[in-house]
Each structure stands twice: as C-alpha cells, then as structure tokens.
Chain A
Amino acid sequence: MKRRLVVGFYGCALRILTNADRIGWCDLSKTNKKQLDKMLQQYQVNGGFDEMLDLESGVRSHYRKFQKLFEELNPEELEAKRQAVDMAFLRQGVTFNVYGDVQGAEKIFPFDLLPRIIPAREWEFLERGLAQRITALNLFLHDIYHEQKILKDGVVPEFYVLSARHFRREFVNFNVPKDIYIHICGTDLIRDGQGNYLVLEDNGRCPSGVSYVLENRRAMKRAFPSMFEGIGVHPVENYAQELLKSLKYIAPAGVADPIVVVLTPGAYNSAYFEHTYLARQMGIEIVEGRDLFVKDSRVFMRTTKGPQPVHVIYRRIDDDFIDPTVFRRDSMLGVPGLINAYRAGNVSLANSIGTGIADDKVMYYFVPRMIKYYLDQEPILPNVPTYLASEEQDMKYIMEHLPELVIKAANESGGYGMLMGPKASKEEIEKFRQLIIAEPRNYIAQPMINLSQHPTYCDGDFDGRHVDLRPFILSGARVSIIPGGLTRVALRKGSLVVNSSQGGGSKDTWVLYGDE
C-alpha cells in the first residue's frame, strides 16, 4: 500500500492521501461512472478524524450501504438532485435572516447532499450521555434557585453562580412547573482527532436549528427515496409531537385542555422560519408579544372573537426581552405583566426563566462535577479540556499559551466573541489578552480541537469539511432525543466555524437501526 504524506494544513496536522481511500470509494467497474469516480479519487483525509473514511480500512462499515447506492448515480443525476433540493429550499422559504443585511435579508441555509451517518451503538452511547447531562443540568438549576447545596458544599464556587450574567436572583425560591427548567436543550458535540465525542457547549435558552433537521430529512427523502428503505434510518418526524407533549406536560394545574402557543420576536428574527415551522407542525398558534396581553395575572391572546386564554408559552424570546416591566424596559417584543402571570402560576414558560446560566461557558466547566454531585455517576460524555481565566493557575497557563488556545467569552454565542489563537494575528491576540485581564470572569480557554471532517460536495468536487453535531433534547415526563440532530458543516476549506451566520451549512444526519 503506497502512502503519500504531505506536511501542512494546521501546523502539526498531516495531510495524507492514501490508496486505501481510493479503494473504498472507487471500486467501480461501470464505465459511465468515470467522472464521479475521478471526483471521489481525489478526496483527501486531512490528518484529523474523517467520519466516512478510515485510513486503514477505507470506507467505515456504517457508510458502506450508502456508498454503494450513491455510486450508482452519475454526476449529472447528482447535480440535478442538488439543484432540485436548493430550489425547493428557496421556494419553500427554508431560510434564515442575516442581521445587518439590507438586501432582502433572507438566505437559504446551504445544504449538502452527503448525509452524516451514525451507527446504532454510537447513538445509544450518545443518548445515554446526553440524557445524563440534561438530568444533571436540571437538578443544578433547581438547586441554585432553591437550597444552593452545591454551592454550600463547595463543589461549584458560589462566586461563579452569583456573578453569572443570566442568574435571575428574582427567581430564587420560585417553583417552576414539574421542576423542569430546560425543556428544550441543544447540546453541541464535536469529535477530536481520535473520533471521541466531546461536549462543546450546552444551549439551554432558545436553541434553534431543529427545523432544518426536519426539512433536511424531507429534502433527502425527495431526492433519494429508495435509500432510506434499503439502509434503515431512524425517522425524525415525530419531533413536533414529542415537543407538544413536553409542553402540555407543564400546563398549570387544573387546566384540562391547555392552550399552547409559540411566542416569536417576529418575522425579522433570524430563526423566524423555525418558529412558524414548529407552530405549524404542532398545530398551535404562533404569537408575537403584541398578540398577547395580561389581565388579572392571566395571559390572553387578541383574536377576532375577542380575548382567548393562553396556558403554556413556548417562548423563543430571551429572558431580557420577555417582559418590559421586569427585565429590559425598552423591549418592544415582550408582554407587559407576563412574569407576574408566570409567578401566579397561571401560565407556564418553556424554557423557564433563568436557564441562561447553564449556557455560561464557566458553568460548562463544572458540568462533569454536577453529574458526579447529583447523580453519583461518571460523566459519559466528556467536556473539552477548559481553563478558567479567573483561576490563578489557569490564568497563568492561558497567558503563556494564548497563540495555541481558543478563547471564548462566557456569554456569547453564534461564533461571536471568540479568538482562534492559531489562526489569529498578533494584534488580535494582544487585544484578547487585555480583554481577559480586564474581565477574567468572562473568559475561558480551550485547546484547538481539530473537528472531525466529512466528505462534502464543493464546487463539483468532494472535499473534506469540518462538522459538528447538535442533538435536540426534550425534557418532559421523560427525556426524549430526536435521532441524530443537526450536523453543521463549515463550508470554507479548513474553517472550524460551523455557524450559519459565518458561512456554515448543514447535512442530514442519519441514525441507523443497525451498526452497518
């Protein structure tokens, strides 16, 4: 077996082009596949972990069935399918809005036809790890808003919780329905160079992206109807039903047939498509702040037949904007008096108020400890090694190793407020050095993880692009996780940033019934 080694890419990473890759992809005898064949031959495994290809054995076993069916397509068919899918997304308005863009402002979220495939045993492992994590997080939230045992026992330093931007003092000793704080969680997973899954962050406020999971699947079913049957892929369709079940579960006591609504900031929000999509799938009303009003601590919506009561609100508005009489006074999106009704127990909110603290990247550092503390278990899914700038030892390390580290602001998301040390200029690094020194509580550092890559169709070629995975976890009467989740892909070559606002796209994610 001949191997060619090419030095380069990210510092120490090696780009390896092997014959093994070719064998896996291109064992084709049919002549009309020449072109596709050639495209696949040139595919390279770039040092890190590749989801589909293994340097030793070629195509990983759980991709083989797919590969076989995929090879039967000729390049023209593939191109036609790709265009049909893009057109369908644009025509259906499967779009996201880009803030600050004056030109109509809607973009389709680029979609890649090659699915990411997860074998059954791997998924079972992920499911267990995610369920463990959300259980611990909900116990943690309940604890810090009540007895604060974990603080008193010194497992999590009190300072970090009380200084967290999203800690809502006003809700200490407030009982949320069924003691569930995070009803819908999006936890971002990545894989390191060895293929180990790591948790990158938890999104316990208003995680978005699940509509793309559902729409991507619809698009794939239309493009490759025969594949699903042959390969055996878990369906994702019943997400909306599960979500509605979780929402009805927290309805105020004594309401037999609760009215559930989705509360959106409006059509100009970047995730508006998703809000309407979910409302439609659940068959419930989507409302804006101005559609609701509060009277005698009860919430009503304005309808053509006069006021109608509302019992559960799946809110896609952050705490800060949800009620101008309590949080930000300048919010035009919220409902005056809503929090008062919530306190009175006449309306339930999902997610609860004050869950943002679980998104705080400093809290993230402590999640493995929470798992041990509340569940007396070892964490199934490890964190990325993390350094806290406000710990003396860690701070020293961070200052000495800034050019190698990834720095993240504790309360930013969407790829903002971030420094990628190895890719940053000297000026950027120094700027962050000053930021960290000025406000250590607000920064963490992590080693640069070379995310796993996945073959992706780029400009008529197959090329490796980095991916992550965001599974969606629902907590109701039980924990339920949509099989797979959203696989985001960084479409720029070599980029490790997968956010849709920063040139990311997505793939359909297949969880197999079996391991092959």
Chain B
Amino acid sequence: MLSRVANSLYWMARYIERAENIARIVDVNLQLLLDIRNLDEQRLIAYWQPIVQAAGDEESFFKIHPHATGAAVTEFMVFEKTNPNSLVQSICSARENARMVRDQITLELWEELNRLYLFVRSPQAREVWKRGASEFFQEIKASSLHIIGIINATLIHNEGWWFIQAGQFLERADKTTRILDVRYQSLPERGVPERISSDETLEWSAVLRSCSAWDAYKSLYAADVHPRRVAEFLLLSYRFPRSVRFCVNELNRALRLISGVPEGRFTNDAEKLTGRFLAELQFSTVDEIFDVGLHSYLDEAQMKLNNIGAELFRAYIFQPFENPDEVHLVQQEEQQQQKQSLVSN
C-alpha cells in the first residue's frame, strides 16, 4: 500500500472520530446546563472554559474570543473556520483525505462522508443548529456511526483498513482522556475526592454521557456516580468500546496486523510504545491513578498517544529512502542531451 494512501486513510478516520467527539462533548455540556440551577455568567464560563481546554485549543480560542461564553465556545468548537479542529473543519479534513484516496474506499463510504460534508457546509446546517443544537449533534453522531459501520461492513479488511482502525482508536483514546479531564478542577490534585455534591454528580454523569457510557456504567455500578468509578470505567474497562484500555488494545492489534509481528515483540517504536502503554493499562488500578493525580495521569496519557502517532508516521509514512541527488540527475541529463545533439547533427 502506498504510504500516502495509508496516511490519508489514517487521518480520514481520525478526523471522523474527532468530529464525533466534539459533537458529544459540546452536546452534553449544553444538556448539563439545563439541569444546573443558579447559573450566572461567571459560573457559565466555569462550565465552558474546560471544554476549550479539553480540546487543547485554548490559545487559538482566546485570539478570537475574549471570554469563554457558551456562544463563543460552541461557535469555536463547531463552526469556526480558522480552528482546524472544529467540528466542521474536521469533517472537511476527513472528506479531503477521503478524496485523496477516493479509489481506495467504497462508494458507500464516499457517498456518506460526502453527504455529511455537504450538510455541514450548507445553510441548512445552520438552520438545524438554530432550531436545536441537539438535533444537529444527533445528525453528526449518527452519521459518524453510520460511517464507522460502513467502514466495517463494506471495506476489505486489509492493510488500509487496519490503518483506519489505528487512526480511529488512537483518536478515540485521546478524546476519552480529554473528556474525562473536563472536570479535573473539582478534584483534589492527588487522591480520591471524599464528598461529591449533587451538581458534581450531574457533571460526572455528563462526562459519562459524552462517551455514550451512561447505560454501560449503570449496568455495572448502578446509578451511583462517583469520579473514582467513572475514571475506572473510562480508563480501565476492557470491554467498553470507548475506554482508553479498549482503544489502546485495538490500536495494538491494528499495528500488529499491519506489520505481522506477534505479541511480545516489536519491530518499530510505534509497536513498542503501544505495547508498553497497553501493559500499563492492563496492570494498573484506579487508586494508583488517583494517587498520581487524575489530571497529571491524563496529561501523560495524551503525551504517550501523541508519541505513538509520531512513531507510526515515521515507521510507515515518512521513510527516508536513499534518493539520488537531484543535481546529479540534472548533470546526467545534460550529458545525455549533448550526446543526443551529436547524434542528430
């Protein structure tokens, strides 16, 4: 498979997953605010600012907007053209990557991704948005899940598909850590919080809802929402398909199927770092994580995922081959032309 194609498939998957996660995170915050009473402007900002921080785009946000008001944050996260990570821009990037490899993907996938792209760029998208943000986000999430379904059900599960899986799960793991990090300011720096207010319960439920984890969580822990359990579930569950452990496990599998290298060994740094991170997730407890401090743990997890992405790029996409020097080629060509002109004279 062409390196460029692998790269495009990988980024297509990442951007689709990114758009979906933005929809989740903004949607849930909007819904959460409906349940919280006595909101003044200051408190509203306390709810919206962490959303920008979670996305890691604080700097570019404050260049455009002075305050993290609800309207400013949603506009920035959803429609902002200058924010390459906004929902609309992510969909544009996903579609652009798909267009680069139009010949490698199925008609069904292209049609749905193109439909989503045309939708978010149409005036109609704004109308749907104005009528009700939830309906808008529902459309995005449904389309993203539809696309994932199409990817699984219509693409050949070959090397390209494994690059898509790698991109999807790497992005999802990263976004789950960011969603989990949204409420870190209400936590002590280290250790498990003892008392949880009723607003905080609502907030942590919102975190679960952002990951579509509410139902799954309830079936395991009943309705008792506590940050320790939420973190345990979203980080360490090995069955929940949006938990970090689950995602890293899938990423590990994809990398091994790409290279054909069995478990317990590695041939490049992407495999090494992924295997190491997975082992750590497999053999950690949530109390150990809170001992380090949830926020610093998540920070480090994001670093690890970034490094894996960089190593994956180095191993498969950008391989420095020994290229003959261009100057040398030009000289060769000039000699050839001289020979030629001797012949034709």
Partner of A301, one of B2, B337, B340: B2
Q: Give Cα A170 to B333, complex, Å.
A: 10
List B319-345 residues whose CB lies under 8 Å from chain A: 319, 321-324, 326, 329-330, 332-333, 336-337, 340, 343-344
Known contacts A276-B103, A285-B2, A303-B3: does B321 contact A339 (CB below 8 Å)?
Answer: no
The answer to whether A93 touches B102, judged by C-beta atoms less than 8 angstroms apart, is yes
**B326-A173 in contact (CB<8A):** no
Taken together as a complex, chains A and B put the C-alpha atoms of A345 and B21 apart, in Å, by: 52
> Is A302 interfacial (CB 8 A cutoff)?
yes
Chain A residue at smallest Cβ distance from B7: A304
Cβ-defined contact, A337 with B159, below 8 A: no
Binds B, one of A286-294, A421-429, A451-459: A286-294
Check: A90 CB closer than 8 A to any chain B CB: yes
**A304 nearest in chain B by CB position:** B316
Smallest CB-CB separation from B4: which chain A residue?
A291
What does the 1/0 interface line of A90-124 toward B look like (CB < 8 Å)? 11110000000000100000000000000000000
Q: Is the CB of A307 within 8 A of B321?
A: yes
Interface residues in B85-139 by Cβ distance below 8 A to A read: 96, 99-100, 102-103, 107, 110-111, 114-115, 118, 121
What is the size, in residues, of chain A's interface with B at 8 Å between Cβ atoms? 41
Q: How far is the CB of B316 from chain A (nearest CB, A)?
A: 5
Q: In the bound complex, what is the Cα–Cα distance between A303 and B318 (angstroms)?
A: 10
Are the C-beta atoms of A302 and B319 separated by less than 8 Å? Answer: yes
CB distance from A391 to the nearest CB of B (A): 27
Considering the chains assembled together, what is the distance between the CA atoms of A302 and B163 in angstroms? 16
Q: Given A293-B321, A304-B316, A340-B332, answer yes or no on A91-B111 (Cβ-Cβ < 8 Å).
A: yes
Closest chain-A Cβ to B322's Cβ sits at a distance in Å of 7
Q: Are A295 and B2 in contact (CB under 8 A)?
A: no
A276 to B5, CA, bound (A): 12
How far is B330's CA from A16's CA once the two chains are assembled, in angstroms? 64
CB–CB A304/B321 < 8 A = no
B103 touches A280 (CB 8 A): yes
Q: Does A326 belong to the interface (CB within 8 Å)? A: yes
Residues of B contacting A169 in the complex (Cβ-Cβ under 8 angstroms): 340, 344
Q: Smallest CB–CB gap between A49 and chain B, Å?
A: 39
Chain A neighbourhood of B324, CB < 8 A: 294-295, 336-337
Size category, B interface:
35 or more
- In the complex the two chains form, is B337's CB within 8 Å of A170's CB? yes
For residue B236, CB closer than 8 A to chain A, the reply is no
Residue A324 lies at the interface, judged by CB distance under 8 Å to chain B: yes
CB distance from B116 to the nearest CB of A (A): 11
Count the A-B residue pairs with Cβ separation under 8 angstroms: how many? 94
* B336 engages A343 (CB within 8 Å): yes
In the complex, whether B6 has a CB less than 8 A from a CB of chain A is yes
The answer to the question of A20 belonging to the interface, with a C-beta cut-off of 8 Å to chain B, is no
Dominant SS at the A interface? mixed
| B residues near A339, Cβ cutoff 8 Å | 333
In-complex Cβ contact of A90 among B118, B121, B323 (8 A): B118
CA distance A325 to B1 in the complex (A): 27
Is the CB of A306 closer than 8 A to any CB of chain B?
Answer: yes
Given the interface contacts A92-B111, A169-B344, does A302 sit within 8 Å of B2 by beta carbon? yes
Residue interface mask A270-299, B partner, CB < 8 A = 1:
000100110110000111101101110000
Partner of B2, one of A104, A294, A303: A303
The reply to whether the CB of A6 lies closer than 8 angstroms to some CB of chain B is no
- Bound-state CA distance A294–B321 (Å) is 10
Indicate if B258 sits at the interface (CB-CB under 8 A): yes
Say which residue of A92, A104, A279 sits within 8 Å of B121 (CB atoms): A104
Chain A residues within an 8 Å CB radius of B337: 170
In Å, the complex CA distance between A336 and B107 comes to: 34
**How far is B336's CA from A163's CA once the two chains are assembled, in angstroms?**
22
Q: Which residues of B contact A23 (CB under 8 A)?
A: none
Q: Are A172 and B323 in contact (CB under 8 A)?
A: no
Contact pick for B322, options A173, A276, A295, CB 8 Å? A295
A279 & B103 in contact (Cβ 8 Å cutoff): yes
List A contacts of B99 (CB < 8 A).
93, 267
Determine how close the nearest CB of chain A comes to the CB of B159; give it in whole angstroms.
7
Q: Are A91 and B321 in contact (CB under 8 A)?
A: no
* Contact A92 to B344, CB < 8 A, known contacts A303-B1, A304-B159: no
CB distance from A345 to the nearest CB of B (A): 14
Write out the residue numbers on chain A whose beta carbons fall within 8 Å of the beta carbon of B343: 172-173
Using known A-B contacts A172-B340, A325-B326, determine if residue A288 contacts B103 with beta carbons closer than 8 Å: no
Supposing A91-B114, A325-B329 touch, asked if A302 and B121 sit within 8 A by C-beta, the answer is no
**Of the residues B102, B111, B114, contact of A276 by C-beta under 8 Å:** B102
Known: A276-B103, A340-B329. A288 touches B4 (CB 8 A): yes
Find out whether the CB atom of A290 lies under 8 angstroms from the CB atom of B4. Answer: yes
**Which of A93, A169, A287 has the largest number of chain B CB atoms within 10 A?**
A93
Interface membership of chain A positions 56-97, coded 1 if the CB is closer than 8 angstroms to chain B and 0 otherwise: 000000000000000000000000000000000011110000
B6: contacting residue among A279, A288, A304, A336, CB under 8 A: A304
* Complex contact B110–A291 (CB within 8 A): no
Q: How far is the CA of A148 from the CA of B102 in the complex (A)?
A: 44
In the complex, are the beta carbons of B258 and A304 less than 8 A apart?
Answer: yes
Residue of A nearest to B113 (CB): A93
Q: In the complex, A340 Cα to B336 Cα: how many Å? A: 9
Minimum CB–CB distance from A107 to chain B (whole Å) comes to 13
Q: Which residues of A contact B159 (CB under 8 A)?
A: 304
The residues of B that contact A294 with a CB separation of less than 8 Å are 324, 329
CB pair B3 A304 closer than 8 Å: yes
Closest to A261 in B: B2
- A244 CB to closest chain B CB, in angstroms? 14
Closest to B316 in A: A304
**Chain A contacts for B258, CB-based, 8 A:** 304
Contact A306 B319, beta carbon cutoff 8 Å: yes
Task: List the interface of chain A (C-beta within 8 A of B).
Answer: 90-93, 104, 169-170, 172-173, 267, 273, 276-277, 279-280, 285-288, 290-291, 293-295, 300-307, 324-326, 329, 336-337, 339-340, 343
Given contacts A90-B114, A293-B321, A337-B329, 12 further A-B contacts (CB under 8 A): A91-B111, A91-B114, A92-B111, A92-B114, A280-B103, A291-B3, A294-B324, A302-B2, A302-B321, A303-B1, A304-B1, A306-B319
Nearest first, the 9 A-B pairs at minimum CB distance are A280-B103, A276-B103, A325-B329, A276-B102, A304-B316, A279-B103, A302-B3, A325-B330, A91-B111
Provide a sorted-by-A list of 15 A–B residue pairs whose CB atoms are within 8 angstroms: A91-B115, A91-B118, A93-B110, A169-B340, A277-B102, A280-B103, A291-B3, A293-B321, A301-B2, A302-B319, A304-B1, A304-B2, A306-B319, A339-B333, A340-B333
